Structure 1
Amino acid sequence: MIQDRDIIVIGIQPWDIKIGSNCKNIAAEFAKHNRVLYVNPPLDRITKYKQKQEEHIQKRLKIAKGEAPDLQKIEHNLWNLYPKTLIESINWINNASVYDFFNKRNTKLFAQDIKAAATRLGFNNVLLFNDSSMFLGLYLKNYLNPDVYTYYVRDNLIKVPYWKKHGERIEPQVIAQADVVVNNSEYYVDYTSKYNAHSFMVGQGCDVTMFNDEDGVIKIPQEFAAIKGPVIGYVGSLTTLRLDIELITFIAQQRPDWNIVLVGPEDDNFKASSLHQLSNVYFFGNKPADQLASYIKGFDIAINPQVVNEITIGNYPRKIDEYLAMGKPVVATTTKAMQMFKDYTYLGETKEDYVQLIEKALSEHSDIKAKQQIDFANTHTWSNSVNAIYNAMQSSLKNN
Structure 2
Amino acid sequence: MVVLSGENIVCITRRPWHSTWKTDQQIMSRLARTNRVLYVNPPRPLREAVRQALGVVSRVPVVSSPRENLHIYQEPILLAGWGRGHLFSRAYNRVAERLRIAHLRETTRRLGFHSPILWSYDPLASWAIGAFGEILFVYSVIDNYDEYFSTGEIWHTRVRASHRELMRRADVVFAVSEPLLQQCLEYNPNSFLAPNGVSFDLFEASMRSSDTPPDVVPIPRPIIGFIGVLHSSIDLGLLEEIAQHRPDWSLMIVGPVEGIAYGDRRVFQRLCSRVNVYYLGAKPPNVLPDYVKSCDVAIMPYRVNPLTFCGDSQKLYEYLACGKPVVSTPIPSVRRHLPLVEIAEYPGDFLARVERALRDGHRLHSERMAAARRNSWERRVCEMSEILLRRLRAATP
Shorter-normalised TM range: 0.7 to 0.9
Q: Is residue 217 of structure 1 aligned with residue 206 of structure 2?
A: no
Contact 1:44 1:86 in 2 (8 A): no
- The CA deviation at 1:270 is 4.6
Q: Could you say what secondary structure the match of 1:246 adopts?
A: helix
Give yes or no for contact 1:7–1:128 (8 Å, CA) kept in 2. yes
Alignment of 1:1-400 (within 5 A): 1-17=3-19, 19-49=20-50, 58-60=58-60, 63=61, 70-84=62-76, 85-93=78-86, 99=90, 105-131=95-121, 133-135=122-124, 137-160=125-148, 161-162=150-151, 164=156, 166-213=158-205, 216-239=208-231, 241-266=232-257, 267=260, 268-273=262-267, 274-366=270-362, 368-400=363-395
Are residues 215 and 265 of structure 1, via their aligned partners in 2, closer, same or farther at CA, if it must alter by over 3 Å?
closer
In the TM superposition, residue 170 of structure 1 has moved relative to its aligned partner by 2.3
Partner residue of 1:66? none
Q: What secondary structure is seen at the aligned counterpart in 2 of 1:222?
A: coil
- Size of the aligned set, in residue pairs, is 383
Distance 1:110 1:391, change over 3 A: farther
User: What code does the residue aligned with 1:117 have?
Assistant: T
In structure 2, the CA distance between the partners of 1:90 and 1:287, relative to structure 1 (3 Å rule), is: closer
**AA of the residue aligned to 1:251:** I
CA distance in 1, matches of 2:96, 2:189: 29
Give the residue type in structure 2 aligned to 1:250. Answer: E
| Deviation string, structure 1 residues 8-63 (Cα, Å, up to 9, x no partner) | 1110112232x1132122112212222222222233424434777786x5414xx4
- Tell me which moved more, 146-155 or 173-182: 173-182
Deviations 1:93-133 (A, max 9, x none): 479xx95x7655443322222221221222221110111x2
Contact 1:250 1:351 in 2 (8 A): no
Contact 1:251/1:351, CA 8 A, preserved across alignment = no
TM-score (normalised: structure 2): 0.88
Q: Match for 1:91: what amino acid? A: R
Using the aligned pairs only, state the percent identity. 26
Q: Which amino acid aligns with 1:89?
A: W
1:118-169 residue CA offsets vs partner (Å, 9 max, x unmatched): 21222221110111x222x112113223111111111224423247353123
Q: Once the two structures are superposed, what CA deviation does each residue of 1:304-340 show, in whole Å capped at 9, x if it has no partner?
A: 1000112221111101111111111110111211122
Conservation of the 8 A alpha-carbon contact between 1:182 and 1:200: yes
User: C-alpha displacement at 1:371, in angstroms?
Assistant: 0.9
SS of 2:192's equivalent in the other structure is strand
Partner in structure 2 of residue 67 of structure 1? none
Residue 265 to residue 32, structure 1, CA distance change in 2 (3 Å): closer
Alignment CA distance shift 1:119-1:185 (3 Å):
same
Asked if structure 2 preserves the Cα contact closer than 8 Å seen for 1:71 and 1:79, the reply is yes
What residue identity is the alignment partner of 1:390?
Answer: S
Question: Which of 196-205 and 390-399 deviates more?
Answer: 390-399
Cα distance in 1 for partners of 2:195, 2:281 equals 30
CA distance in structure 1 between the aligned counterparts of 2:345 and 2:14, rounded to whole angstroms? 32
Matched residue SS, 1:262: strand
**1:357/1:215 Cα in 2 relative to 1: closer, same or farther (>3 Å)?**
closer
Instruction: State whether residues 234 and 302 of structure 2, in contact with CA within 8 Å, keep that contact through their aligned partners in structure 1.
Output: yes
Shift of 1:213: 4.8
**SS class of match (1:37):** strand
Instruction: Kindly indicate whether the alpha-carbon contact (under 8 Å) linking 2:213 and 2:291 is maintained by their aligned counterparts in 1.
Output: yes
Does the 8 A contact of 1:183 with 1:203 survive in 2? yes
CA contact (8 A) 2:224 2:249 kept: yes
SS in 2 for 1:8: strand
Deviation per residue, 1:177-204 (Å, 9 max, x gap): 2221111211210121222221111222
Residue 373 of structure 1: how far off its partner (Å): 0.6
The AA in structure 1 aligned to 2:59 is: K
Residue identity in the other structure for 1:253: Q
Contact kept, 8 Å, 1:14 with 1:41, in 2: the verdict is yes
Unaligned runs of 5+ in 2: none
RMSD of equivalent CA atoms: 2.5
**Residues 289 and 3 (structure 1 numbering): CA distance in 2 closer, same or farther, change over 3 Å?**
closer
SS in 2 for 1:322: helix
Give 1:275 deviation, angstroms: 1.5
Contact persistence 2:207–2:293 (CA under 8 A): no
